[in-house]
Amino acid sequence: MRKLFIAALASALAGGTAYAEGVSEQDLANDTANTSSVLTNGMGRHLQRYSPLTMLNKDNVSKLTPVWAFSLGGEKQRGQETQPLIHDGVMYITGSYSRMYAIDVKTGKELWQYDARLPEGILPCCDVVNRGGAIYGDKIYFGTLDARIVALDLKTGKVAWRKKIADYKAGYSYTAAPIIVNGLVITGNSGGEFGIIGEVQARDAETGETVWTRPVIEGHMGTLNGKPSTMTGTLNATWPGDMWKTGGGATWLGGSYDADTDTIVFGAGNPAPWNSWLRAAGKPKGAEGDNLYAASRIGMDPATGEIKWHFQTTPREGWDYDGVNEVVAYSNRNGEKRWATADRNGFFYVLNREDGKFVRAAPFVKNITWAKGIDENGRPEFVEENRPGDPAAAADGKKGEVIFAVPSFLGGKNWMPMAHSPKTGNFYVPSNEWGMDIWNEPVTYKKGAAYLGSGFTIKPIFDSHIGSLKAIDPDTGDIKWEYKNNAPLWAGVMTTAGGLVFTGTPEGEFIAFDDETGEKLWSFQTGSGIVGQPITWEQDGEQFVSVISGWGGAVPLWGGEVAKKVNYLNQGGLLWTFKLPKELASAN
């Protein structure tokens, strides 16, 4: 009773918008500036992945030393893509197969573990990964492979509530970190290869009650407080016939939030099926065939889920160039408010943060085949002969013309998050240089079955490397430096005010680069491939750095000629934490 009263009082003092016990909206807004905790995926909801800490810097990073490592154990050693969170002396990580761990940051000792008991028959397309949680109030939230969202007590790991996002039997799942804005837990969904409908959902963080839903394919209705709100787009404006009903657009990578414009941005994945001839214009007459809002970024009001703006990167997408990659809020060197995103399609885009309008785009990988460039309106200048051929036009009606496309379907960049440094003004983009043979086939929708209508073989385009970490000037699109890596890069990037850029490789190296020159200043072999997201924070006057090591994710699932660059890599599952030796740190 007393606790209820205090909660009600705190809520009233906070203007009734937040349950102010524990982590508050203000704490989330200050996540980058407050270096003693990491409460959000992205180290701030703008997703800059930048720390203002300077204790660790270019001069002393060569002395960075491991302090503890934590094993995720068990037989479930699959891809480990989590970004750790830090709150009140505790680290929270998620693991493959929808697990969560709370760890004492000083000792590396486990405090509790939560293991979502997944049903038989889940349909994750691209490994059983999880990318992290979100902290608010006295709870931590994360999504599970059976398309649920779970709220756990921060102290005990006990389940506070558990809600269904969608039906896993229809191909839905969830792997991204949720984002929390003004007391709402906001999630997307996964399953774009199964003809699902991409959607963004917001729930009351305290109760788990759904507040709004926003499907991202035109023709579908949104909801607000349990009632229909508005239709997404205009029915059959850009989709022929009934194709919109199974139109894909999975919002599988979560979102970002810009407090200046009070906008959340989610990306929508490929339209379904992959065979773009089934979604072409003229069926019915007049439909443009752009297939909105698949392969788009969508700016929304976080309170209602109403769409404020959209920007489509690949109209009538036909190469699996999902439009989900993270959209980072930043201000450029002139102080202009911008969004930046590095798309699967190989182009790096800058948008106006006020209205989502296109500012500029430049290629960030080499030898792009499907488009000559991006015009002044942000629309691709398609190379039509590089669209996989129409199977209906083939002699046997079964296999359309095979084309070789760059980037491959795994993208110039995939999910692995880039970082921005307000210090240099640059973005640090983990990219991959590769292509694919791709062709189209006939396909019909069947619930819970892959809905592609395409076949493909992925291939390197250079002998020397696939992976390429690039420092990109967003004002010009110029590549300031590049670090080439044999295997495809699949890990997140982090920048610091100490002039460091951190990322990891599938070969297991955790590396610190000079943010201005790209010089490798330090590296550590973690024992398995790194596909996780590094963080840094301050504890008792010392700067710590953590990253998870554990090879997996989408790359090893697709053979092709890429397999020989990764098929020797060992599985793993270790969270590594580093700091400077105390005498060195205090000498600073």
47 close to 161: Cβ distance less than 8 angstroms: no
Interstrand relation of 494-496 and 50-51 (parallel, antiparallel or unpaired): parallel
Distance between CA atoms of residues 388 and 405, nearest Å? 9
Q: Name which of 103 and 410 has its Cβ closer to Ca ion.
A: 410
Task: Pick the catalytic residue from 31, 258, 290, 320.
Answer: 320
Q: Name which of 96 and 190 has its Cβ closer to Ca ion.
A: 190
Query: Which string of x and - marks every residue 317-356 that binds Ca ion (by CB under 5 A)?
Result: ---x-x----------------------------------
Counting contacts by CB under 5 A, is residue 314 touching Ca ion?
no
Least Å distance, CB 319 to Ca ion, is 10
Query: Shortest CA distance to 408 belongs to which of 192, 559, 521?
Result: 559
Least Å distance, CB 33 to Ca ion, is 36
Judged by CB under 5 A, the stretch of 36-44, 55-63, 268-276, 368-376 that binds Ca ion is 268-276
Least Å distance, CB 530 to Ca ion, is 23
Residue 169: partners with Cβ closer than 8 Å, 6 or more residues away: 121, 123, 447, 448
Least Å distance, CB 274 to Ca ion, is 8
Judged by CB under 5 A, the stretch of 14-22, 270-278, 280-288, 477-485 that binds Ca ion is 270-278
Query: Which string of x and - marks every residue 140-179 that binds Ca ion (by CB under 5 A)?
Result: ----------------------------------------
Strand order in the sheet with 434-440: 403-405, 434-440, 454-460
Q: What is the CA radius of gyration of the chain?
A: 23
* Number of residues in contact with Ca ion under rule CB under 5 A: 5
Number of H helices, E strands in the chain: 3, 40
Judged by CB under 5 A, the stretch of 262-270, 355-363, 387-395, 558-566 that binds Ca ion is 262-270
Distance between CA atoms of residues 263 and 276, nearest Å? 31
For the segment 173-212, give every residue that binds Ca ion (CB under 5 A). Answer: 192
Least Å distance, CB 346 to Ca ion, is 15
Least Å distance, CB 96 to Ca ion, is 20
Neighbour count for residue 287 (Cβ, 10 Å): 22
> What does the block give as tokens for 498?
């100490």
Q: Name which of 314 and 526 has its Cβ closer to Ca ion.
A: 314
Kindly state the DSSP code that residue 401 receives in the 8-state scheme.
Answer: P
Least Å distance, CB 341 to Ca ion, is 16
SS3 (DSSP) at 557: helix
347 close to 364: Cβ distance less than 8 angstroms: yes
Judged by CB under 5 A, the stretch of 35-43, 206-214, 313-321, 577-585 that binds Ca ion is 313-321
Is the preceding peptide bond at 407 cis, omega within 30 degrees of 0?
yes
Q: Name which of 321 and 510 has its Cβ closer to Ca ion.
A: 321
152 close to 159: Cβ distance less than 8 angstroms: yes
Judged by CB under 5 A, the stretch of 69-77, 114-122, 315-323, 330-338 that binds Ca ion is 315-323
Q: Which residue has the tokens 């709100």?
A: 229
Q: Name which of 143 and 192 has its Cβ closer to Ca ion.
A: 192
383 close to 423: Cβ distance less than 8 angstroms: no
Least Å distance, CB 20 to Ca ion, is 40
198 close to 251: Cβ distance less than 8 angstroms: yes
Q: Name which of 181 and 410 has its Cβ closer to Ca ion.
A: 410
Active site residue 320: yes
First-to-last C-alpha distance (Å) of the chain: 50
> What does the block give as tokens for 279?
């979604």
Name beta bridge partners: 190.
Answer: 173
Q: Name which of 263 and 408 has its Cβ closer to Ca ion.
A: 408
Backbone angles phi, psi at 8, to 5 degrees: -65, -40
Query: Which string of x and - marks every residue 447-486 that binds Ca ion (by CB under 5 A)?
Result: ----------------------------------------
Q: Name which of 322 and 326 has its Cβ closer to Ca ion.
A: 322
Counting contacts by CB under 5 A, is residue 270 touching Ca ion?
yes
Please list the active-site residues.
Answer: 320
- Contact set with Ca ion (CB under 5 A): 192, 269-270, 320, 322
